[in-house]
Amino acid sequence: MTIALRRRLLAEFTGTALLVTAVVGSGIMATTLSPDDVGLQLLENSIATAFALGALILIFGPVSGAHFNPVVSAADWFLGRRAGTGLTSRDLAGYVPAQILGAIGGSILANLMFDLTAVDFAGKDRAAGHLWLGEVVATTGLILLIFALARSGRAPVAPAAVGAYIGAAYWFTSSTSFANPAVTIGRAFTDTFAGIAPASVPGFVIAQIVGLAIGICLLAALYPDAGKAADQVVVPTSERDPALDPRT
């Protein structure tokens, strides 16, 4: 028996919230601990994010697949629809709002943990062509990595691989690798190290969608049968609900 949608949506909401809490919270802590060294701040922020992402995939992957990202969910639906695998349209319509609401909640939680105003819209302008290009590159790479792992039967290593990729992309992309529309929206709700001005959000989201499209095209060329493995993205979800399975 497949896991109930409500449980998967709760996992996506909670996992995305905790991911953004880690991104924003570690950024706040980094500026507190290293106020005069932006490079060290970015190092602290990226390491915390990479480790937190890997841990969250391990926690929530068996329930929802641990997408935490609308472009990953969209790719999963698009590539799997012909093979009858991956997310259904109904699943996708639930995953994306859950991820966005979770991301907003994660920023609010981080703000409150550090005794800041719950909602304080960011003033950090990130609207520039080279930053959008960075988002295209980061998102394309993320889609390729996730589906290449699934297609080759290596989805179980996704927690380490995806965490490592995002941690590295903090450093090799000009945008510091948001690569996630939900996280981008959530980070607009905090005027801290990880924040992004609301006016800059649409440009980042459009760039991420472009990265999604390029990633899908490259997958079609490199792995024409990638859609058959959509059920393995990011981490395989249980085919049966343990609570209802008499064998467990």
69 vs 23, 36, 112, 248, CA distance in Å? 14, 32, 24, 31
| Dihedral angle of Cα 209, 210, 216, 219, to the nearest 10 degrees | -130
CA dihedral 231, 180, 167, 75 (to 10 degrees): 30
Question: What predicted TM-score, i.e. pTM, was given to this entire model?
Answer: 0.93
Contacts of 205 (CB under 8 A, 6+ apart): 181, 184, 185
Q: Is the pLDDT of residue 159 over 50?
A: yes
Of the pLDDT bands very low, low, confident and very high (cuts 50, 70, 90), residue 247 is very low
5-232 has CATH 1.10.530.10 classification: no
Query: Is pLDDT above 60 for 238?
Result: no
**Residue-range domain boundaries for the chain:** 5-232
Per residue, the 3-state secondary structure of 172-187, as one string, reads HCCCCCCCCHHHHHHH
**C-beta separation of 120 from 190 below 8 A:** yes
Mean pLDDT of the chain: 93
| Phi and psi angles of residue 52, each rounded to the nearest 5 degrees, phi first | -65, -40
